[in-house]
Amino acid sequence: MAPVIDLHFHCLPGIDDGPDDWESSVALCRAAAAQGTTTIVATPHVLRGPWINEDPELRDALVLELNALLDGRPEILPGCEYFLSAEAVELVERGRWSPLTGLNRTGYLLVELPSGEIPSYTGALFHELTLLGVTPVLAHPERNRALSDDSDELEELIERGARVQLTAGSLLGDFGPPAAEASQEFLRRGLVHLVASDAHSLDRRPPRLAAARRHIRDAWGADAEVGLFEENPRAVLLSERLPWAGPRE
């Protein structure tokens, strides 16, 4: 059976708005494993509000401890959810970033936009990142009001080099009708490359990757399920080009 990779997961304790302690962290990861997830990329917020997390050493130490507590089931890899700022390219050039692969300086970077807008520099910044060998992965665009209202804006960002990750809960209605409807519109237009849980806790934001997989399989077929949940996530971890282009009506 193919590994199930969750590329967006807040599981490190006390570092952002994810779990507060080790017990909660372990329980959250084990809940994901019970649904079939074999690999989790820990993606603490970086440069968002009170969660600066600019130094990867703390994150790496927490990842090491969590892997020990879980005994590798599931495996935890280092990553981040980077809040987009005009200084992003400078920070990447200085090496103050945490790629989703956690393995090398090139690869994919999970990027979060403000919830209500698209900063004017976003497209140009994405293009600059790609020139540095970094592919921005846009986290939960269906929950950004500007993008959910106008999918043409999302297509333009993809043309600038971005790839798109939907949240599993959005597909299932957890974030309300606008996010669910935007998710379906993005899928219809072939603008989706990845689905991840964005899990934070068992009660508020549980991992729902298994249910989202069933939803995609039922609505878009087995090829879409494998592409979104297996082939493309595996390529991200390997810093390879995404092999699956996305479903399209």
- Tens digit of pLDDT for each residue in 209-222? 999 999 999 999 99
CA angle 205, 207, 211 (to 5 degrees): 115
pTM of the model: 0.92
What pLDDT is stored for residue 202 in this prediction?
Answer: 96
The overall average pLDDT reported for the chain is: 89
Q: pLDDT per residue over 149-172, tens digit each?
A: 999 999 999 999 999 999 999 999
101 pLDDT band (50/70/90 cuts)? very low
Q: Is the pLDDT of residue 246 over 90?
A: no
Q: In the β-sheet with 134-139, what is the strand arrangement from edge to edge? A: 45-46, 81-83, 107-112, 134-139, 163-167, 194-196
The label of the residue with tokens 């600066």 reads 52
Q: With 90 as the cut, is the pLDDT of residue 96 above it?
A: no
Per-residue confidence band for 206, with pLDDT thresholds at 50, 70 and 90: very high
> For residues 6 and 201, what is the distance between their CA atoms, to the nearest angstrom?
15
